[in-house]
Each structure stands twice: as structure tokens, then as C-alpha cells.
Structure 1
Amino acid sequence: MLIVKKFGGTSVADKERMLHVAGICAEEYKKGNDVVVVLSAMGKQTDVLLTQAEEINPNAPKREIDMLLTTGEQISVALMAMALESMGVPAISFHAFQAGIYTSKVYGNARIQRIDTARMEEALSDRKVVIVAGFQGINEAGDYTTLGRGGSDTTAVALAAVLKADVCEIYTDVDGVYTADPRMVPSAVKLKEISYEEMLELASLGAGVLHNRSVEMAKRFGVELVVKSSFENLEGTRVCDNTGKKSALFQLEDGAIRAAQSLEGTTMEEMLVSGVTADKNTARIQLTGIKETTKEIYHIFQRLSEQHIGADSVLMSPSRDKTTDISFTVPRDRLSETVEVLNRYSKESFSPIEIIAEDNIAKVSAVGAGMMSNTAIAVNMFEALHEASIDTHMIYASELRITVLVDEKDTLKAVRAVHERLIEKRMK
């Protein structure tokens, strides 16, 4: 078997954890399996490097930021190779150029375009553990690029796809995917399985377990993902092509499965919610006074796209003066940049658009298959928020999720209320 194992920064934060991870990889290797390891930078190293850059030059070029940040992963992979060699396991470390990971030219948020696997395959054929720096690539100019925060997950899935690995295991500081962040909701339950589609929604809406682009890639190339704990030898959560549309209740760990089997069939069918997420890195933009609706909207979102700013939860509504209002959310850490782009567009196009920005909000979402077709989910969600005295500022619904914007101060209360009503009550 060929297994790709990815370990995050907390998993390799110090000497003891580094050696622990090396032990996991060595054990897999000694079973006779081929092993590819993808690593993030140690602990908070990326944050340390960003702080150093900020102290030197608050407006540093993105190219130089990427040049700096890629050093974190290169340290990790070199130390891991040394650790494995100390255990008698032959290993070799590769950074992006050596691993042949080629990306688009965008610094800070590049996308993988192709991977030249020749050198990795040669090392695997020599029975070496291949250790690859995650989160990074090189562009057509030969410059280092980074894939965005969480990009090591995407590196791992991409390697699993091109090397035709049997499985890609993502090791984190939690032992799987839960129905909510266990730190926010102690009663959250671990899922045994979850579909690519539901996991993609959860990842995109604030669940920090997996990088959303890694899930997108896994679905596209049929890579089997397993989310596991670096610290405990427990069965993780399998992310797969769940075409059977079975209830999320049946995907829970054994105790919850036994509870589910005692419920009536109608209740089991209603248990469609796989998870509840919160995203505080959210800001809301409201544009009012848009006159030439289709043309204006096209140009507005084109300008945002040119700056690689993704808009989510887009809502459009006509106003009384025959203009159109648009509301959407963007990552809070890109709010000032978004407002700057919109102001520039308004001036250049001589279109007097009013721009209202809010950054004291959070996005709370319930995710599951068939959300739109089961109206009881929305009713119960809004009732739970109402009973918890939580105001909502915007509502967005699709087949896979219902998202509400709430005051940031109400985030924890909202997540717990929605989780209790949509998941915990269905399990009792």
C-alpha cells in the first residue's frame, strides 16, 4: 500500500512530538507500506515569521512573504528525515522544487497546477520514506509560492492523487470530524463518515479540521481521506463519496449508532444535519444604489475576483427607488482590501454606490444533505435562535447548508443552541 500522511504544526511542535510522529511513520513503514509524509511548519512558526515580517516592513511584497514562510516547512521536513534515520528508517526530505510541485503565479494563495513525481517515485522505489514540505510550490518564474493557510492539507491530497495512494491520512490535534467544535460544544459527537460535499461545506464555513481546497480536490480525484489524531491511536473520520444519502445519524460512532437504531424511521430520516460551524473571520458588505443591475454586478465581482477575494452568501434585493441592493460576506482579514476595491470601482465607473461594512459579526451554519427539502430544519434552527434571544442579520440557504449572521458576541451561544436543537435532540 501507498499511504500519504499529513501532520499539522501542533503535531510536530517540539522534539518530543517530532519523534512521536516519526514513530508513527516508522511503524507504517515497517508494515511493508510505502509512506509519503507531508508536514506543516513546527507549532506557531508561521505566525512567528509573519510577526518578524511585520516588524521589518508592514507592507512587504507578497513574493518576499512567501520566500520567508516556506522556510518553516523546510525546517520541519529536514528534522523529520533526521528523526526517521535515527530510528533506522531510510528517509529523504523534499521542498517544493525538489518535489516538483508547480503552482499558479499568485503569491500567498497559489493553486497547484501540476506535479512532477519522478524524483519522489524514484525514492519510493528505493524504499525510502518521502517527506515533503506542505503549503508551498514554485511558479513559472521559479519563485516560491504558498497555498494559503491550511494549504498543507491540499499538498497531501494532491500528492495522494498523482501518486495514486491508497489513502490520505490527515493527522490533527482532534481525533476526527465532530458535529461541532468540541471546544465550543462539549457534547459534540464524532462522525464515523461524512460525504465530500458535507465536509466541503463544513470546511468552507469555519470548521478548521480540513482545508476546503483539499476536500474539493479529494472529491474531484476520488482520494479517500481519513482524519485522525496525532496523539491517540483511535479510529478517525472517513471522508468519502457518500452517494447512498444515508442519515448522518448512522455515521456517528458506535454508541450513537446503537441509539439511532432504537428510533422510529421518520426520526432517522429527519436527522440530516452533519454539523454546526462558526466562522468569526467574517465581515458583511452591503452595497446600495446599484442601477444597471446585471452589468454593475458583473463588474463589481470581476474586480473582486481580480484580487482573489471570494464572496460568500450573496443576496440581492430590489429597493423602492428601482435600484438594487446586494449583501455578501468576505473574510474579515480582507475587509479593508475589499472596501478599497469597491471604492475604487465606484469612483472609476462614476457609479455612486453606497458601501456599508460590518465586522463585528460571525457566521453560524448548519450543514447536511437535503436541507432545503426538509423545511423542519430551518424552522427548528430559527426557533432555537429565537429562544436563545439571538438576533440574525442575514440568512442564506442552499441544499447543503443554512447560514445566519449573528453578533460576534453571540457566536458561542448560537452554536450551542443550534447544535442542541438540530443534533442532540435527534439523538435522544
Structure 2
Amino acid sequence: MSLIVQKFGGSSVANAQCVFHVAKIITDTYKAGNDVVAVVSAQGDTTDDLIAKANEINPNASKREMDMLLTAGEQMSASLMAMAIEKIGCPVVSLLGWQAGFTTSTAYGSARIHKVNPERICRELDKKHIVVVTGFQGINRFDDMTTLGRGGSDTSAVALAASLHADLCQIFTDVEGIFTADPRKVKNVRKLDYISYDEMLELATLGAQVLNNRSVELAKKYGIELEVLSSMTNEPGTIVRETSHIEKMLISGVAKDGDIARISIIGVPDRPGLAFKIFTKLAAKNINVDIILQSVGRNGTKDISFTIGKDNLKAAMDLLNPYVDMIGASSVAYDDHVAKVSIVGAGMESHPGVASTMFESLFESDINIQMISTSEIKISVLIDADDADRAVSVIHGKFFD
């Protein structure tokens, strides 16, 4: 007998038919002799609908009250799932995040999990109950409901798997696993049987939408084996674990992130410490910086360009515009019509020429590279947003066709 944590996203539980389909997956796993904890997201567009309702009342509602509202979506989903499982004839109980033992930080809207106390879940499993848990939420030290931010249900599932020492954590989605590129936009993609934590973490961070990067970080930290698979088919999915394969593939995938912007600070005085001061100010406002390019000093100045998330652009520009004058730089500008295209693969470490192959494919398609960032297992380029989908396609074709 195994203990299995299964997570189902919003599209998997979007309506009554989907709920019963998922309930059968859960109960079939239970009837096979396993203990089962199911983590569910809000149904379909419920979260977006709740946000729209909030905006009708108060577009500037506090984050605390937004969390109180948004946690209702998962509560509805969990109770409906429990009702479906009851109808099938299996013992079940649904639990809110706080009932399942999730305690979090006080950052409403983007809380971090501090601890999971699975005592209540263990008692229910001892009673041979299926346990359905609301994803995406917990409770903070003020006894207020909190949400975990984008992809929070994935993170909830992996955190539960770690605290329960589960044998497997299955993430059910609307695709059949991890592919070498987005199968909805690129032809001839391949489904991966296995991928390493590090490769998956890079892909998730670089724009792949299948898994949340925080969930992959947790899985790696606690050695939780993940399986990403479709709730619509009975096909095996992709296993995410420590080592993807003995003879590593050259690259594991191509990803695109269009939710970024480039900021350029022109004419920064060529003095020690100014870059440190600039990025410290951004960090103090929780603005993450990704690709950084600094020009060679000339005429006593240099230019610094970097990328940030598009949702942080206004805050960053509001911060930097007055600061540029203080440090004696010429100007600051931005471009929010850019995209980052990346290749990821542990096989890069032992195969020279990967970068040149990637750049060749872009050259042959007349796609200009604005910035480049590399690590041991990834290469990212910043390009014009209009070229992004075509870039993913030609790069994928160069490596996989």
C-alpha cells in the first residue's frame, strides 16, 4: 500500500462532469489499496470571477480581504469533490488549508508556507478516509486566511507530500506530461519520460506553464518524486526526479516568457558601487532582476540593462526615474515589447556547440538577439516579442527535427 498525493487543477474540475471524472480517478487509486490525499484548485474561471466581483465593489480592496474572498473558490471545489466521492460510495472528508495544518507567512496574496502539521490528515487516513484538501491556501499567525500566489495548489500538494512522506505526488493537468516545447504552439514536440529537478525548475522559471517553480524547489529539497500527467487520459506522464536519465539528452526543452520588460540605464558614471546601489534599491522593493548586461566603460560612463517581470515595470520606473539624477546617469528607458526564449538541458555540460546551434537557428530566421544569459544548463536570449513564437519553433526544430 502506498500513500499518494494527487493534485487537480482548475480545468480538471471545471464542471460537474469533470468533477465526477476526477472523483473516479481518486477512488480508483483508493480502491487499489492506496491512501489518497487529493488537492484541488478552484473550478475553471472561479478565481477570475471572484476577482471581477471584488472589482465591482472595491477595485482597491486590501490584500487581506482579497484572500478571504479567493479562498472560497477552493473551498467550493473541495466540498463538491467530496460530495462526488461520497456518491461513488467511498469514505471521504474535505479540509480547508488551515484544517490540513498549513501555516504561512503574513504576505497576503503571496504567502510562503512556514509549516505543515499533518496530524489531522493522518487521523483521517487512519479512519480509511480519502482526504480532499483545498490548495493555494493556509493560515497565518493572526489566524487570517492567506493565499500562496500563482501556482499555489502545486506548492500545496508537494508540501503535503513532503510532510506526509508520501510515496508519490501526482500533478494532474490538461496536458499529458512535460514536452520539449508547448504542444499547442510547436509541431513535432516530444513528451519526456523523465526530467531532472534542476531542468524542470529552469523550465518552470523560464516560462513553461506546466509546473510552478516553487513546487519544484520543494520537491527537490525533500526528494519528492513528481509525476505530471493528464486527467483526461490514462497514459503515463513525465516523472520529475533527481536524475532524468543516464545518457542525458542534449537539451530537454525550449521555453518562452513574454511577461517581461527590459530597463536600460544610460550613461551611468563608471565608479565602483553604483550597480550595487541600483540593484539594492530594486531588491528592497521585492523586484526580481533576471538578465543583466553592462557595457564596457567609455568616456567615464557605462550602460546597464536588465530584465524584470512586466508586472513590476511601473514600480521599477517610479523608483529609478528620480534615482538616475541622483547618481548622475543620463537617462532610463524601458521596452515592454520583448520576450525571453530559453533552452534547458543538463546535456549542455558535456556537449560543446549548443549555443552556436541555437544562435544559428535565430540567424537563419533573421531574428535579432538583444541580450544573452547562460548557466550550466540553460541559455536565454531576449528578443522582440513579435518574434518569440517563431523563435521557439525554429530552435526546437534545430534540436529535435
**1:144 Cα deviation from its structure 2 partner:** 1.9
Report the equivalent of 2:177: 176
Report the equivalent of 2:165: 164
Report the equivalent of 1:354: 331
Identity %: 50
Matches of 1:375 and 1:46 in 2, distance apart? 46
Report the equivalent of 2:384: 407
Q: Is the 8 A contact 2:103 2:114 kept in 1?
A: yes
Equivalent positions of 1:80-159 (< 5 A) are 80-159=81-160
**1:229 Cα deviation from its structure 2 partner:** 0.4
Matches of 1:104 and 1:325 in 2, distance apart? 38
Q: SS where residue 99 of structure 2 aligns?
A: helix
Report the equivalent of 2:310: 332
Q: Is the 8 A contact 1:91 1:131 kept in 2?
A: yes
Q: SS where residue 121 of structure 1 aligns?
A: helix
1:308 aligns with 2:309: no
Equivalent positions of 1:373-392 (< 5 A) are 374-392=351-369
Equivalent positions of 1:132-281 (< 5 A) are 132-242=133-243, 246-248=247-249, 272-281=250-259
Relative to 1, partners in 2 of residues 1:288 and 1:56: Cα closer, same or farther, differing over 3 Å?
farther
Q: SS where residue 318 of structure 1 aligns?
A: coil
Matches of 1:382 and 1:350 in 2, distance apart? 36
Tell which deviates more after alignment, 193-202 or 114-123: 114-123
1:3 aligns with 2:4: yes
Work out which of the residue numbers 375, 388, 393 in structure 1 matches 2:370: 393
Matches of 1:399 and 1:35 in 2, distance apart? 38
1:43 aligns with 2:20: no
Matches of 2:279 and 2:194 in 1, distance apart? 36
Q: SS where residue 110 of structure 1 aligns?
A: coil
Matches of 1:310 and 1:189 in 2, distance apart? 32
**1:32 Cα deviation from its structure 2 partner:** 1.4
**1:317 Cα deviation from its structure 2 partner:** 3.0
Q: SS where residue 125 of structure 2 aligns?
A: helix
Work out which of the residue numbers 283, 299, 311 in structure 2 matches 1:321: 299
Matches of 2:272 and 2:155 in 1, distance apart? 35
For the aligned residue pairs, the C-alpha RMSD in angstroms reads 1.8
Q: Is the 8 A contact 2:229 2:237 kept in 1?
A: yes
What letter corresponds to residue 225 of structure 1 in structure 2? Answer: L
Give CA deviations for 1:387-428 in whole Å, capped at 9, x if unaligned: 11111211111111111111111111111000000222xxxx
Tell which deviates more after alignment, 326-335 or 170-179: 326-335
Q: Is the 8 A contact 2:81 2:132 kept in 1?
A: yes
Matches of 1:213 and 1:199 in 2, distance apart? 11
Relative to 1, partners in 2 of residues 1:288 and 1:67: Cα closer, same or farther, differing over 3 Å?
farther
**1:371 Cα deviation from its structure 2 partner:** 2.9
**1:350 Cα deviation from its structure 2 partner:** 5.7
Structure 2 spans left out of the alignment, 5+ residues:
none
Q: Is the 8 A contact 1:293 1:324 kept in 2?
A: no
Relative to 1, partners in 2 of residues 1:325 and 1:60: Cα closer, same or farther, differing over 3 Å?
farther
Matches of 1:79 and 1:294 in 2, distance apart? 60
Matches of 1:291 and 1:143 in 2, distance apart? 48
What letter corresponds to residue 79 of structure 1 in structure 2? Answer: L
What letter corresponds to residue 313 of structure 2 in structure 1? Answer: L
Relative to 1, partners in 2 of residues 1:364 and 1:82: Cα closer, same or farther, differing over 3 Å?
same
Report the equivalent of 2:400: 423
Report the equivalent of 1:252: none
**1:46 Cα deviation from its structure 2 partner:** 1.2
- Count of residue pairs the alignment pairs up: 400
Q: Is the 8 A contact 2:194 2:245 kept in 1?
A: no
What letter corresponds to residue 325 of structure 1 in structure 2? Answer: D
Structure 1 spans left out of the alignment, 5+ residues:
249-271
Relative to 1, partners in 2 of residues 1:178 and 1:119: Cα closer, same or farther, differing over 3 Å?
same
**1:370 Cα deviation from its structure 2 partner:** 4.4
Q: SS where residue 120 of structure 2 aligns?
A: helix
Matches of 2:390 and 2:161 in 1, distance apart? 39
Q: Is the 8 A contact 2:194 2:244 kept in 1?
A: no
**1:125 Cα deviation from its structure 2 partner:** 0.9
Give CA deviations for 1:53-73 in whole Å, capped at 9, x if unaligned: 233333322222222211111
**1:379 Cα deviation from its structure 2 partner:** 0.9
TM-score by length of 2: 0.95
Work out which of the residue numbers 271, 274, 299 in structure 1 matches 2:277: 299
**1:194 Cα deviation from its structure 2 partner:** 0.4
Report the equivalent of 1:251: none
Matches of 2:259 and 2:168 in 1, distance apart? 31
Report the equivalent of 2:262: 284
4+ residue segments displaced more than 6 Å: none
Relative to 1, partners in 2 of residues 1:410 and 1:223: Cα closer, same or farther, differing over 3 Å?
same
Q: Is the 8 A contact 2:5 2:37 kept in 1?
A: yes
Give CA deviations for 1:239-298 in whole Å, capped at 9, x if unaligned: 0101765222xxxxxxxxxxxxxxxxxxxxxxx110001111111122234347653333
Matches of 1:307 and 1:108 in 2, distance apart? 16
Q: SS where residue 231 of structure 1 aligns?
A: coil
Work out which of the residue numbers 320, 333, 338 in structure 2 matches 1:342: 320
Matches of 2:283 and 2:199 in 1, distance apart? 25
